[in-house]
Amino acid sequence: MTPEQFEAATGHSLESMAHKCHEASLALVLSGVHGICRVARGTCPGVGGQHSWVVLGRDCYDENAVVIDPTLWSYVGGEPSVWSGRASIKPHRPHGAGNIWEWGRPAFPEGEIIELPGPFAPDAERFLEVLGPLDLAGWRQLAHAPVGGWPAGKIFAAMMEVPELAQWLPIDIVGMTTDLNPGGLYLPEKETAA
């Protein structure tokens, strides 16, 4: 994608988007020019803090996913350009990357057990059975677990329905693992979560 193509798709010049990574990425997603895609947020070498980019498809955690990064140039130097390549090349690493089976298990409950509203898809049901019951402290820990190796999006969507649990879920993780689109900041669809 050239700077001219970016401007035609979004109505913004690429230069005007310098250091506005989330705004530029969301503009690309909303433009529809790349079909099914979503905004991802995490880290990338050369960017001093958290960073946003576009992932083609819906899996922000696929290291082979194609990334389109319209603002990387503004952090690493150079002329305005749109970087694209596999997520593993730079690498673009979304928040929550990793495998839960290497991370561990939330603490066993010591307080009141909190159950999620069902029904669940079979993979989520099996995971919850293996996990066992959790209290608030356990659910808070799970909210910050790596998302690989388990149906995180399905579990997080259910957690969003429980007010005392929803407040502990990082908005970026919800935006990258579910179809809830908090704040309308990750998907082209209408916002469905606060």
Q: Is 85 helix (H, G, I), strand (E, B) or coil?
A: strand
Beta strand 51-56 pairing with 83-86: unpaired
| DSSP tag of 190 | P
* Tokens representing residue 149 in the block: 């190796």
Q: Which residues have a Cβ under 8 Å from the Cβ of 15 and sit 6 or more positions away?
A: 3, 80
pLDDT exceeds cutoff 60 at 194: no
Q: What is the pLDDT of residue 191?
A: 66
**How far is Cα 138 from Cα 132, in angstroms, rounded to an integer?**
10
Under the banding of pLDDT at 50, 70 and 90, the label for residue 190 is confident
Around Cβ 65, how many Cβ atoms within 10 Å? 20
When pLDDT is averaged across residues 56-64 and rounded to a whole number, the result is: 94
pTM for the full predicted model: 0.91
Contact 87, 64 (CB under 8 A): yes
